[in-house]
Structure 1
Amino acid sequence: MNEVQEEGNPLSQDFDIKSLLKFALPTIIMMLLMGLYTIVDTIFVARFVGANALSALNIVCPVINLIVGLGTMLATGGSAIVARKMGAGETVRASQDFTL
């Protein structure tokens, strides 16, 4: 079990900058696209709707970013907890942690 699974697991091998970028690049791209989405949305609202709508957007955007950040934090932490228990063969406890 150990040798066969460790050979196929990229995290069990030497972890260098290239490996880090391989795993982190999708998250980095997602964050850049979300920032770009916010900028484009702000430009359209400022040009076509007006100053009051732009003010409302600038009030709401940090709240939306906070909600997205909280959701990402809970999803990442929850998946780490479940993955550790599933890796230890505790699928029943993992499924209990996955439910509210």
Structure 2
Amino acid sequence: MNESFADQESFLDSLITGHKPVNIFLVNGIRLSGTIRSYDQWVLLLDSPTGMQTIYKHSVSTVQDSEHRGPNKAVQHDPDTARSSHYPRRRVTP
């Protein structure tokens, strides 16, 4: 097992055993909140207010322990930089 996977495993195990709430940011800008219940090599199982969600790790940008945030606890949303998952970008051809 390589060192980076061991670090990932240690971090996720601490979140699971502590039942800590997390924010998971996806590569498309979406934020998911809940508690991680389980994981394997490819997916995370998130228990959220809307139910259980399976999240593929390749779509995850950041996993953040939401109890240990900095002094500014509000999550900032900038609509100018967030990409919408409802409207795909269209390629402009010359």
Q: What TM bracket, shorter-length normalisation? A: under 0.3
> Which structure has the greater CA radius of gyration?
1
Larger helix percent = 1
Say which structure, 1 or 2, has more relative contact order (CA 8 Å, 6+ apart): 2
**What TM-score do you get using the length of structure 2 for normalisation?**
0.27
**What TM-score do you get using the length of structure 1 for normalisation?**
0.26
